Structure 1
Amino acid sequence: MPLPRPHPGSPPPQPPYPLDSSPGPYIPSTDEHQRSWRPSNHAKLERKHIDSSSGPYTFLSYFDTVFLIDDSAAMAEHWDAVGKLLDQICTICAEHDRNGIDIYFVNHRPRGYYLYATIGQKRQRGGYFNIGKTTDDASSDNRDNVAGIFRAVKPHGHCRLDHRLGAILGPYMKEYTRRVKDGVPQAENLRPLNLIVITAGVTDDNPYDTLIETARSLDSCHAPPYQVGVQFFRVGDNDDGRRAMEFADNGMAQTLNLRDMVDTVTWTSDPGDLAPDAVLKVVLGAVERSIDKPV
């Protein structure tokens, strides 16, 4: 099944949510886990740096990959299909990230989150971290099972997508901008972030606020175009969700004169039936296309 794309000559879609187009300071979220982001090892990542002889997913080894999964009530009818999708793409991503992948949910929190919250340490339990991490320690138990995690989650409630995007992008950008301010060279700054969001696009908050502020902050830091990529994988055929994701993909950067760091894949059949080229689009769509852009 081909992935639908807007006609090249069509105007950018209009946002179904109000936009705050006035510039403002980036205010990172502080209510979630701040992970230990890995340092980069390239002053400028270019295609010539990447040895593609080991396969089409080699790009992933240069990024930290994080998943955000919408587990709101709107996702209930798609939940089994999402499980198949995760089984298909998480394995690929984990194999190419020695630090392992991270998984967040919009509503679900890991066991112990609320207990940690009572003692002011809920940031340590906001998601599942370093899944599939490779290690030389044979006794290491830091190998969460994606399928097991997914089975423990049941879709329910509202979708505060922007709130959760802020919980992930906020700490990353806070640390990135701190290092830039301190004069840390790009080669020693944070590893680029590849954020993959699986959602029906039916949200209860404005899904653009964090994306806009992140893009503004990256632009003000003169960050490489591949420093942060957000890939939306939209399931289902909800019209509101379609309009929201289309604007994030094709209209937001043009309307507000921002970097284009968002890409969207729309899938209306079973995500578990994705062909290899479509899987590649899901895991690399937002970052692969930015590699050849000027820094």
Structure 2
Amino acid sequence: MRAEYLRQPLRAESLQDALQTLRNYDMTVVMDDSSSMTGSLWNEVEQALAMLINVASQYDASAAGIDIHFLNSNTTMTGVTDSRVVHEQFTKFQPCGPTTVGNCLSMILGDYVHELYAAKGREDSCKNIKPLNVLIITDGVSSDDVESVIVYFARLLEVDKWPLGQVRIQFVQIGNSRHAAQFLRKHRQDIVDTTPYIGQLHADMLIKVLVGGINRRMDTKGGGAVVF
């Protein structure tokens, strides 16, 4: 996506349209809580996620909420609809540990695929399972193998003929690490939609990234939004 587009605030009608699109997906955020996130980056993400949840809940009081996973903390925040929950969790611990994106993504996709296969053959059950939209916010290069995880699950779903776009993944860089930018560019050439560092993170930016991963027409610079 173009940087200037992501920086611009969403108008009320565009925001409603975007959130209506996102309601058709289960939303999961993977939060990098590695050691390098300590300080201003951690605070920046906290504020952006809290604002995102506030905006979403204002437009849809019955929303299922957003799941938030951390790379190193054992805590998983499920169905978050109140920004106060985000603030409370973020103040409980400080970032610490490696950037194990592959491991966290493997667990999330594994659970989701297990749910899909458990519902297979029961038409009504399958219809109740929404496609999955995963947003990964990180400031650095993963310390484990991300690509193999994505390729494995992509092939698994493709072989079993699940619908195109059943799972979508977006990487968002926070901070201006050159190595992280290179990591994202590498994945951008493959099967993942990526957004490099373009300035301070905010809720409107995250909404645009999420919708851009679903609707390629919003991604004016391409980027391979179709994941599986």
TM range, smaller chain: 0.7 to 0.9
Alignment of 1:1-295 (within 5 A): 2-3=2-3, 54-77=16-39, 78-94=41-57, 95-96=59-60, 98-110=63-75, 127-132=76-81, 145-180=85-120, 182=121, 184=123, 188=127, 190-249=129-188, 251-253=189-191, 262-272=192-202, 276=204, 278-289=205-216
Aligned to 2:7: none
Q: Take 2:44 and 2:140, find their aligned partners in 1: how far apart are those partners?
A: 16
TM norm structure 1: 0.62
Q: Take 2:87 and 2:210, find their aligned partners in 1: how far apart are those partners?
A: 18
How far has the Cα of 1:226 moved from its partner? 2.2
Is the contact made by 2:46 and 2:86 (CA closer than 8 Å) also made in structure 1? no
TM norm structure 2: 0.78
Q: Take 1:86 and 1:72, find their aligned partners in 2: how far apart are those partners?
A: 17
Aligned to 2:10: none
Q: Take 1:55 and 1:82, find their aligned partners in 2: how far apart are those partners?
A: 24
Q: Take 1:206 and 1:146, find their aligned partners in 2: how far apart are those partners?
A: 28
How far has the Cα of 1:88 moved from its partner? 2.3
Q: Take 2:31 and 2:195, find their aligned partners in 1: how far apart are those partners?
A: 15
Percent identity at matched positions? 25
The answer for unaligned runs of 5 or more in structure 2 is: 5-13, 219-225
How far has the Cα of 1:224 moved from its partner? 1.9
Aligned to 1:120: none
How far has the Cα of 1:183 moved from its partner? 6.0
Kindly provide the amino acid, as one letter, of the partner of residue 79 in structure 2: N
Q: Take 1:55 and 1:90, find their aligned partners in 2: how far apart are those partners?
A: 16
How far has the Cα of 1:186 moved from its partner? 8.6
Note the alpha carbon deviations across 1:199-234, whole angstroms, 9 max, x for none: 113221112122111211121122222211111111
- Structure with bigger helix share is 2
RMSD over aligned Cα atoms: 2.9
Is the contact made by 2:116 and 2:126 (CA closer than 8 Å) also made in structure 1? no
How far has the Cα of 1:68 moved from its partner? 0.9
Kindly provide the amino acid, as one letter, of the partner of residue 129 in structure 1: T
Q: Take 2:149 and 2:44, find their aligned partners in 1: how far apart are those partners?
A: 28
Kindly provide the amino acid, as one letter, of the partner of residue 144 in structure 2: D
> How many residue pairs were aligned?
207
Say which one has the larger Rg: 1
Q: Take 1:189 and 1:198, find their aligned partners in 2: how far apart are those partners?
A: 28
The alignment partner of 1:191 has SS state of: coil
